[in-house]
């Protein structure tokens, strides 16, 4: 009855919430092959610099790095680690993404999740922040941290 427990966790894009003003996230499936699935379940991947692009009415995850496990290195060559991966969405969700893209917004992956035996990508539509917006975000974060510290010390 001892089953191997695989690490459950998420691979997140930490800069996405800082660099973009995001709307409500969507969850999409992702088309992977076997070695990629095993690598992502072991948290061997990165969403740093990844983005979603609409090509011929389909959503594709670009620039997502999946590094192989030591046992999978032969099955996942270096040119396959950074390949484009198709996202699985309902047509209504895809139409909303196409409309948002035409308005000049960016579609950003937020995190890779494991849902049972499936691996999902959480994506969100966002608008890129300007430099002064980022400074305001840092200032608000510092103010919240200081007020929390003062309340804790009382």
pLDDT band at 4 (very low <50, low <70, confident <90, very high): low
pLDDT band at 145 (very low <50, low <70, confident <90, very high): very high
Which CATH number describes the domain made up of 11-128?
Answer: 2.40.280.10
Q: What is the pLDDT of residue 24?
A: 87
- Please check the confidence at residue 7 and state whether its pLDDT lies above 60: no
Average pLDDT score over residue span 138-142:
89
Pick 2 or 89 by higher pLDDT.
89
- Please check the confidence at residue 133 and state whether its pLDDT lies above 70: yes
pLDDT band at 94 (very low <50, low <70, confident <90, very high): very high
Which tens digits make up the pLDDT trace of 25-47? 899 999 988 888 888 888 888 88
Which tens digits make up the pLDDT trace of 9-29? 688 888 877 778 788 889 999
pTM listed for this prediction: 0.73
- Please check the confidence at residue 142 and state whether its pLDDT lies above 60: yes
- Please check the confidence at residue 92 and state whether its pLDDT lies above 80: yes
Which tens digits make up the pLDDT trace of 57-80? 899 999 888 887 777 666 666 666
Q: What is the pLDDT of residue 3?
A: 57
Three state DSSP letters for the chain: CCCCCCCCCCEECCCHHHHEEECCCEEEEECCCHHHHHHHHCCCEECCCCEEEEECCEEEEECCEECCCHHHCCCCCHHHHCCCEEEECCHHHHHHHHHHHHCCCEEEEEEEEEECCEEEEEEEEEEECCHHHHHHHHHHHHHHHHHHHHHHHC
């Amino acid at each position: 009855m001892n089953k191997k427990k695989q690490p459950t966790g998420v691979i997140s894009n930490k800069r996405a919430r800082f660099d973009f003003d995001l709307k409500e996230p969507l969850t999409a499936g992702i088309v992977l092959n076997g070695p990629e699935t095993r690598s992502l379940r072991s948290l061997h991947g990165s969403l740093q610099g990844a983005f979603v692009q609409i090509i011929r009415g389909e959503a594709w995850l670009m620039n997502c790095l999946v590094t192989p496990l030591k046992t999978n290195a032969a099955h996942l060559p270096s040119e396959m680690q950074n390949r484009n991966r198709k996202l699985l969405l309902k047509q209504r969700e895809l139409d909303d993404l196409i409309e948002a893209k035409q308005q000049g917004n960016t579609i950003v992956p937020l995190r890779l999740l494991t849902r049972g035996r499936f691996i999902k990508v959480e994506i969100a539509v966002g608008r890129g922040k300007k430099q002064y917006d980022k400074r305001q975000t840092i200032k608000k974060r510092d103010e919240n941290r200081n007020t929390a510290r003062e309340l804790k010390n009382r």
